[in-house]
Amino acid sequence: MATAKRQLVCPYGCRPARFELLGGAVFVDSSGSYLDHQDKLAAFRCASCGAVALDLASAAAAMARESRYAPDISITCPACGAVLLPPGDYEVGAEMECPECASVFSMEEGSPHLLGDFSADEDESEQP
């Protein structure tokens, strides 16, 4: 049976790296000989010290998923085009002041991901 790729480590760095399967189904035949196992939802513990093992491959995959879906929010000043970070205490409809040109605008006005980019449509309509 194919299992998920894992990179198990003991949090205390025990050597040799041997781990015990916890909560996983292990299948044996009538003589008690190993047949198969299911470790998809299982945890592991270090055979030396008993600490719960860390799965570095799973942690790396989770971090990659989170960073891939994290929105990259920036605000562009409608007057001068300066790219700004949103305020931490943002309230819907609140106005901001651009530190570059002192223009006052709402976050929605400076967020093209909320309004869309209509500049391409305007350029086409101005051409004769």
> Would 2 be classed as within a structural domain?
no
Q: pLDDT at position 83, please?
A: 86
**Among 102, 81, 10, CA closest to 52:** 10
Among 47, 69, 91, residue at a domain's last position? 69
Do residues 16 and 58 both lie within one domain? yes
> Would 1 be classed as within a structural domain?
no
Q: pLDDT at position 128, please?
A: 52
Do residues 50 and 102 both lie within one domain? no
Q: pLDDT at position 35, please?
A: 92
Number of Cα atoms under 13 Å in the Cβ half of residue 8: 18
What domain range includes position 105? 75-126
> Would 121 be classed as within a structural domain?
yes
Q: How many CB atoms lie within 10 A of CB 26?
A: 12
Among 44, 69, 94, residue at a domain's last position? 69
Q: pLDDT at position 3, please?
A: 53
Q: pLDDT at position 49, please?
A: 94
Do residues 94 and 118 both lie within one domain? yes
Do residues 96 and 117 both lie within one domain? yes
Q: pLDDT at position 64, please?
A: 77
Q: pLDDT at position 1, please?
A: 45
For the chain, the domain total comes to 2
Do residues 48 and 94 both lie within one domain? no
pLDDT average per 10 residues of sequence, the chain (128 residues): 73 90 88 88 90 87 72 79 78 80 83 53 51
Do residues 37 and 83 both lie within one domain? no
Do residues 65 and 84 both lie within one domain? no
This prediction's pTM: 0.44
Torsion sign (Cα): 98, 100, 103, 107? negative
